[in-house]
Structure formats: C-alpha cells, structure tokens
C-alpha cells in the first residue's frame, strides 16, 4: 500500500507538470493570436485614417497632405482661339497636369465681357491620386481611378473646350481679371508656390484702359496690384487681325507692368 501510494503521488505530480507545460503552450499561442489581431486592428485603423483618404468631397483638396503648388490659369475668351492655339493650350495643360504633384490645386478662370473681369472658377480642384499610384491595401483602386477621371480630368477638359470656343466680344478686361485674382483671395494659403498662367492676346480693352485707343500707353497707366506670390507666365496669342496693335512696345509695357506686380518668368508668343 505504501509503495502504491508513492507511485500514485508521482503520477499525479507528473500529470500536473505535463498539464502545466500544455497550459503554458496554450497561453503562448493565445497571446500570439491576441497580438496578431491587435496588429491587424491597428493596421485597419491606419488604413481608415490614412492621410490620402482625408480629402474635401467638393474640391478634392486634402488638408493632411502638403500642397506644393497652385496653378491659376486665366483664359481670355474674348476671341476664338485658332486650331493651333487650342492644340498648344491643350498640350500645355495636359503636360502641367501630368507633372503636377498629388494635392496640387488647379484654379481655371475665364475672362470675358459677361463678368467684366474674372469668372467664377470653371475648375477649382486639387489633383487626387490616380488609380495607378495608390496601394491596393489602403485604397479602392477602381474608386480612385473613377474619382480622378470624373471629378478632375473630365471637368478640366470640358473647361478648356468651353473657354476656347467663345466668339469675338467687345470687351477684354485683362487688368480687371488680374485685379480680381488678387482682391478676391484666389491664392491658396496652403500652397507653397503659386503659378499664374495668362492665356490672352493681351489687348486690354475696358474702362480701365484701351489698347485700341491709346496703344501701349494704356498699359503704362494701369494701377498696380499685388500678385507678388505668383510666378507669372504669359501665353501671348497672336492675332493676324490685331498685328498693328500687338507691337513690341505693347509687349514691353506688359513685361514692365507684370514684372512690377508679380514674379514674371516669361512672355511666350503663340502663333495664330
């Protein structure tokens, strides 16, 4: 009996040791599962809260991402663009769009006599991710591609088409449009750089001054405005019918004026 009792105690002790090892193994496995689930939970939370998802539903601008540039384009629709000029503008804007960073802002305005200055923006959107440059882990690629195409790419194309198809109009308020850019706070404060592109024949014709009446002197007497944040480029649309007005003196006057109110980079002539 004594020997049996001793063997029984030893067997019970061995079972306890075996159960203890199994318990420890189970606890370890359970702990690893908990850690894995927690990691997945944090990953899912990061995906939901990812900065690229934090965009404005109207402008597509994302306050959580840097905005390197704002591209302001003022298109003079007071006269119809020639086929070459239309192609040139389309190519330039397409290249600009392709080279722009995600979250760069595009603000496109039309200048015509309906507004006696600047229109409301026909496009005012930030460039979103395209479906090609997002991760399948953090975004629905098809949704992003549709958003890019329907909310950004197509409106831009439509705006350009509308702008270049206008007919001849009696007023060309170039100065007023540029004044509106400054006075109506169209500069994006979040943008590190502002690029202003003016697409026009540069024949100012309004109450502020008329090239038809005074030639280049009409530009020399324009009031100064504050466009100092902007790097300015002019695509000067040559018009055969306005050759006697689009003189070297007029170009020099615009160069002096725009150079005094902004950071003028270039005036580029675009043939008719």
Is 237 strand, coil or helix? Answer: strand
What integer best gives the mean pLDDT of the chain?
78
Q: Residues 181, 223: contact at Cβ < 8 Å?
A: no
- The whole-number pLDDT of residue 226 equals 95
Instruction: Report the C-alpha gap between 26 and 21 in whole angstroms.
Output: 9
- The whole-number pLDDT of residue 78 equals 78
* Between 14 and 78, residue with greater pLDDT: 78
- The whole-number pLDDT of residue 50 equals 47
- The whole-number pLDDT of residue 90 equals 84
- The whole-number pLDDT of residue 33 equals 42
Instruction: Report the C-alpha gap between 68 and 93 in whole angstroms.
Output: 17
Residue closest to 176 by CA, chosen among 99, 229, 125, 117: 117
Is 67 strand, coil or helix? Answer: strand
Residue 209 belongs to what H/E stretch? strand 209-210
Counting beta carbons within 10 angstroms of the beta carbon of residue 188, is it exposed (0 to 12), middle (13 to 18) or buried (19 or more)? buried
141-166 pLDDT, tens per residue?
676 677 777 777 787 777 667 666 66
- The whole-number pLDDT of residue 43 equals 31
- The whole-number pLDDT of residue 109 equals 87
- The whole-number pLDDT of residue 38 equals 43
State the average pLDDT over residues 97-110: 90
pLDDT reading at 96 higher than 60: yes
3-state percent breakdown (helix, strand, coil) of the chain, nearest 5: 45, 20, 30
228-240 pLDDT, tens per residue?
999 999 999 999 9
pLDDT reading at 197 higher than 90: yes
Is 136 strand, coil or helix? Answer: coil
247-260 pLDDT, tens per residue?
999 999 999 999 99
pLDDT-derived band at 117 (thresholds 50, 70, 90) equals confident
Q: Residues 39, 31: contact at Cβ < 8 Å?
A: no
Q: Residues 221, 209: contact at Cβ < 8 Å?
A: yes
pLDDT reading at 110 higher than 90: no
30-87 pLDDT, tens per residue?
454 444 334 433 333 333 344 456 778 888 899 989 999 999 999 887 788 888 998 8
Residue closest to 184 by CA, chosen among 264, 101, 124: 124
The percentage of the chain sitting over the pLDDT mark of 70, rounded to a whole number, equals: 69
Is 201 strand, coil or helix? Answer: coil
Instruction: Report the C-alpha gap between 100 and 93 in whole angstroms.
Output: 10
Supply 146's token pair.
């549709």
């Amino acid at each position: 009996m004594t020997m049996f009792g001793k063997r029984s105690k030893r067997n019970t002790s061995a079972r306890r040791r075996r159960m203890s090892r199994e318990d420890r193994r189970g606890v370890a496995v359970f702990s690893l599962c908990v850690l894995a689930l927690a990691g997945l939970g944090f990953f899912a939370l990061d995906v939901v809260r990812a900065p690229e998802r934090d965009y404005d539903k109207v402008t597509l601008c994302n306050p959580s991402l840097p905005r390197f540039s704002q591209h302001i384009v003022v298109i003079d629709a007071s006269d119809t663009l020639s086929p070459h000029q239309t192609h040139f503008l389309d190519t330039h804007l397409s290249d600009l769009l392709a080279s722009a960073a995600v979250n760069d802002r595009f603000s496109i305005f039309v200048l015509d006599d309906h507004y006696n200055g600047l229109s409301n923006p026909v496009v005012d959107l930030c460039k979103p991710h395209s479906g090609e440059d997002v991760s399948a882990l953090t975004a629905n690629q098809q949704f992003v591609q549709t958003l890019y195409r329907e909310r950004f790419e197509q409106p831009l194309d439509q705006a350009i088409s509308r702008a270049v198809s206008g007919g001849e109009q009696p007023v060309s308020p170039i100065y007023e449009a540029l004044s509106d850019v400054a006075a109506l706070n169209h500069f994006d404060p979040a943008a590190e750089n502002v690029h202003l592109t003016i697409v026009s024949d540069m024949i100012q014709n309004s109450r502020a001054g008329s090239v038809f009446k005074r030639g280049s002197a009409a530009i020399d007497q324009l009031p100064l405005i504050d466009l100092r944040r902007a790097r300015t480029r002019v695509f000067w649309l040559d018009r055969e019918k306005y050759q006697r007005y689009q003189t070297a003196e007029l170009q020099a006057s615009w160069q002096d004026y725009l150079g005094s109110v902004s950071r003028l980079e270039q005036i580029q002539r675009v043939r008719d």
